[in-house]
Amino acid sequence: MPGPLDGVVVVDLSRVVAGPQATMTLADLGARVIKVEQPGTGDETRGWGPPFADGVSTYYLSVNRNKESVELDLKSAAGRDVLTRLVERADVLVENFRTGVMDRLGFGVARLHELNPALVILSITGFGHDGPEGGRPGYDAIVQGEAGIMSVTGPPGTPSKVGLSIADILAAGNGVAGVLAALYERTRTGRGSVVRTSLLASVVGAHMFQGTRWTVAGDVPESVGNDHPSIAPYGTFACADGVLQIGVANQGLWRRFAPLAGLDPDDPRYATIPDRASRRAELTAEIEKALAGGTRAEWLARLDAAGVPAGSIRSIDEVYEWAQTRSQGLVVEVDHPELGRIELPGPPIRFDGAPAREHTAPPLLGEHTAAVMAWLEEDE
pLDDT in tens, 241-294: 999 999 999 999 999 999 999 999 999 999 999 999 999 999 999 999 999 999
Residues belonging to the active site: 168
State residue 2's pLDDT score: 78
Assess contact for 206 and 174: CB atoms under 8 A. Answer: no
pLDDT in tens, 145-197: 999 999 999 999 999 999 999 999 999 999 999 999 999 999 999 999 999 99
C-beta atoms surrounding 172 within 10 Å: 30
Confidence of residue 357 (pLDDT cuts 50, 70, 90): confident
Q: Which sign, positive or negative, has the C-alpha torsion 273, 268, 311, 156?
A: positive
pTM for the predicted model, two decimal places: 0.94
C-beta atoms surrounding 187 within 10 Å: 7
SS3 content of the chain, % helix, strand, coil (to 5): 40, 15, 45
Q: What domains are there in the chain, each with its CATH number? A: 9-206+323-377 (3.40.50.10540), 234-314 (3.30.1540.10)
CB contact set of 123 (below 8 Å; sequence gap of 6+): 95, 96, 102, 129, 194, 195, 196, 197
Query: Taking the mean position of all CA atoms in its chain, how far away is CA 61?
Result: 15
Amino acid 174 reads N
Q: What percent of the chain has pLDDT over 70?
A: 99
Confidence of residue 1 (pLDDT cuts 50, 70, 90): low
